[in-house]
Amino acid sequence: EADIYQTPRYLVIGTGKKITLECSQTMGHDKMYWYQQDPGMELHLIHYSYGVNSTEKGDLSSESTVSRIRTEHFPLTLESARPSHTSQYLCASSDRGLGFVNEQFFGPGTRLTVL
Amino acid sequence: GQNIDQPTEMTATEGAIVQINCTYQTSGFNGLFWYQQHAGEAPTFLSYNVLDGLEEKGRFSSFLSRSKGYSYLLLKELQMKDSASYLCAVRYNTDKLIFGTGTRLQVFP
């Protein structure tokens, strides 16, 4: 069973607020990812990290930022939320080992609504 | 460019067999994954193919043809709890995934 957690699960917030979505995993995985998913649409990679102090932007441009100060923690921040940021945000992690499947394990997601 | 196609919706009856197809065009192919996602929940890993052929895992099997850019997920002895979205995802370069839009499967009694 995957041990990856996201808080909050649901967030409704007004325009202009700063928000941080939390993601933590207890599997010791080096790699972590943030995806954005709109209803009925595919997951889009917005950020990823290969380890502490390593962060990269994903394939979908996002105004959010991320940090990776500890292996287990990969928070995502929006400095000024807008209605266009309304979406579901999924965090995932995977192991680094070569020659293995290294599937990504997903957290339960945060459903963000910006009014 | 990177592209994955799969049917949007499928329906089947309990106890039946259903095949969900996925075609892809990607560079740097490094494996194909199938995930199951129930409404409002996280995707969960079902299967992985990196070489051509069939991988069987209980009621679920997945097939890959790299030359054709084609995969399918086969679900046997369908149960009501199998109603979910099934996501095809291709890993490219080292470990980045590109996902299809998912196939929403509804199983009827």
Put simply, the answer to whether A108 touches B31 (Cβ < 8 Å) is no
Inform me whether the pLDDT recorded for A1 exceeds 60.
no
Q: Which residues of A touch B40 (CB under 8 A)?
A: 109, 111
Residue A1 CB partners (closer than 8 Å, separation 6+): none
Q: Give B60-103 pLDDT, tens digit per residue.
A: 999 999 999 999 999 999 999 999 999 999 998 777 899 999 99
Q: Give B25-70 pLDDT, tens digit per residue.
A: 988 888 999 999 998 888 999 999 999 999 999 999 999 999 999 9
Which pLDDT band holds residue A30 (cuts at 50, 70, 90)? very high
Report the C-alpha gap between B5 and B26 in whole angstroms.
Answer: 11
Q: Which residues of B touch A40 (CB under 8 A)?
A: 101-102
Residue B81 CB partners (closer than 8 Å, separation 6+): none
Report the C-alpha gap between B86 and B20 in whole angstroms.
Answer: 8
Which pLDDT band holds residue A2 (cuts at 50, 70, 90)? low
The neighbour count for residue B61, using CB atoms within 10 Å, is 18
